[in-house]
Amino acid sequence: MMAKILIVEDDHNLGLMIQDILEFKGYDIILSRRPENTIQDIIENDVDLVLLDKLIYGVDGTDVCKKIRNTKATANIPVLMMSALHDARKICLKAGATDFIYKPFEMKIFQDKVQELLEEIKV
């Protein structure tokens, strides 16, 4: 069984590109543009990994990440946050992100990060 990955990203083209690349690798992808549904999406879809944008439709992804960490059912789900903001890494990791990647990212590095995070939880 392949890992289920939830992508929370409001850039339509980037979201679809990430989805295509990860589906090609065999992952099961749920693409969301609604950060307020993240906890529900994780639980309902039995998600293994969350890819979370730092800024989504005016919502701060770090707040979403904190909610993931503070919800018993989702607290241990790995979260890979992404942003183009130069100081975002420290902020995202402090909010509970498992890892961070700067946008725009090299797809190979991105895929490697996703694979590493999933291997750590043995999916």
Per-residue model confidence as pLDDT tens for the chain (123 residues): 689 999 999 998 999 999 999 999 999 999 999 999 999 999 999 999 999 999 988 899 999 999 999 999 999 999 999 999 989 999 999 999 999 999 999 999 999 999 999 998 875
What pLDDT score does 1 carry? 67
Q: What topology does CATH give the domain 4-105? A: Rossmann fold (3.40.50)
Using alpha carbons, select from 31, 29, 30, 26 the residue that is nearest to residue 2. Answer: 26
- Which residues lie across from 80 on neighbouring strands? 51, 99
Using alpha carbons, select from 52, 51, 42 the residue that is nearest to residue 75. Answer: 42
pTM metric for this prediction: 0.95
What pLDDT score does 123 carry? 54
Question: 53-58: long-range contacts at Cβ-Cβ below 8 A with a sequence spacing of 24 or more?
Answer: 53/8, 53/9, 53/10, 53/11, 53/81, 53/82, 53/83, 54/81, 54/82, 54/83, 54/85, 54/88, 54/91, 54/92, 55/83, 55/85, 56/8, 56/9, 56/10, 57/10, 57/33
